[in-house]
Every structure is written in C-alpha cells, then in structure tokens.
Amino acid sequence: MKRVALICLVAGIAVQAHAQFGGEQTVTGFRVPEYDENNNLKSQLFGDFAKVLPDGVIEITQLKIDFYQDGEVGMTVTAPKCIYHQKKGIAESDSDVRISRENMVVTGTGFRWSNKEENFQILNDAKVVLRNVREQMDSGEEE
C-alpha cells in the first residue's frame, strides 16, 4: 500500500497547472502511471475528476489505484472521494474505501494515508473478507 504515493504524482501535475495558471484548476478523466527503474508498470492511479484549490489541496473523485505484480493487477484501491494535502503529504477521506486482492477484500469508511510514514489506515468499520481460505487450508497450499 505504500505505493499509494501515486497521489503525489497527481499532486505534482496539478501543482504545475496551478503554478502556470493560478487560482482553482481541474482535471477530468485522468490516469497517472508509475514505472519502476526497469520501466515495468508498478501502479496506475485513475480519477474521474481532480480539483486543485488555491491553497494547494487537491480534491479527487472516483479514485482508483491499480498496483501491479509481475505485469498483472495484484491489488486495487477505490474510493469515491479523497482529499490530498500536498504540503503535509497526507491523503484522507471520510468516504467508503475498498481494497481488493485475489483472495481478500478489505472495506471500511474513511481512510488516512501518510506518504512520509508510508502508512494506510482505514478509520472506521473495517471488514476483511478472505476468499477460498478453507480450500487452501484443506489442500495445504500456501500463498
């Protein structure tokens, strides 16, 4: 989850627009990919809409972040809205959040992510649903 740092990339783009044009700026239907040093896709951030406020805070709606492992999506984070505080390096929301992997889904309400601490917290009503656990236990497979 520490790769949620893609929000920083969106912030960088938005801050550049803010610096060039001043005032409140918006971006719609965006995608921000992140690549590793070998040019492999690590993650992609998608959003329907982002608004940079005059104080540099960025509002993002319909946030989706895909994290890749071996060229395939290994985890997806979604939230209807998010606020990114660029100066603090913190993203937060009071909306629903969903983190999904092949064998697990984590949902909750509200989240806080700190770039500096590389920490992602679901604030309320966190639920974890594991899939196919019994089958894996019965067969003796390890993930």
Distance between first and last Cα of the chain: 18
Q: Which helix (H) or strand (E) holds 53?
A: none
Q: Are 89 and 8 in contact (CB under 8 A)?
A: yes
> Quick check: 95 and 113 in contact, CB under 8 A?
no
Per-residue pLDDT tens over the stretch 13-72: 444 444 444 567 899 998 888 888 899 998 888 899 999 888 888 899 999 988 898 889
Residues 6+ apart with CB under 8 A from 34: 3, 5, 6, 9, 41, 42, 43, 44, 45
For the chain, domains (ranges, CATH) are 2-139 (2.60.450.10)
pLDDT digits (tens, 9 = 90+) for 111-139: 998 767 767 799 999 999 998 877 656 66
